[in-house]
Amino acid sequence: MAKGGWQEFSRPESLQRAATGNAAGGPTPKAQQRVRVQRTKAGKGGKLVTAITGLEAPEAELKTLLKQLKAAAGTGGTVKDGVIELQGDQVVPALAALEKAGYRAKQAGG
């Protein structure tokens, strides 16, 4: 190695992170995921949305869950970058629907 070439984190094996999930390598069980439900206006043009974060599931499963949440809240919504967004202040119906689906969700923020 050349002088001044200290590179502790430059090797490929040191850059790889552990796969998302538990120590057994499988997906994290629904009841152990840290799911947060919060109201936000950030970047939405002043419109209030309910953001649901912390879900560790494939895209298809998120879309199925989104459909259940939209039906429970009676509103529209979308999945963006692994975050479910529901239109309006839907914290209470979202928490109830997530609990029914087997997740331990908490309200985040105010």
Q: What is the pLDDT of residues 24-65, one digit of tens each?
A: 555 677 767 788 999 988 777 888 999 999 888 888 888 999
Residues 6+ apart with CB under 8 A from 91: 37, 38, 39, 50, 107
Count of structural domains within the chain: 1
What share of the chain in percent tops pLDDT 90? 34
Question: How sure is the predictor about 67, in pLDDT bands with cuts at 50, 70 and 90?
Answer: very high
Mean pLDDT of the chain, nearest integer: 79
The answer to whether position 46 is within a domain reads yes
Question: How sure is the predictor about 108, in pLDDT bands with cuts at 50, 70 and 90?
Answer: confident
Is the Cα dihedral 17, 21, 22, 24 positive or negative? negative
Cα separation, 34 vs 28, whole angstroms: 10
The answer to whether position 10 is within a domain reads no
User: Considering the entire predicted model, what is its pTM?
Assistant: 0.71
**CA angle at residue 78 from 74 to 82, to 5 degrees?**
130
Domain ranges, residue 58? 27-107
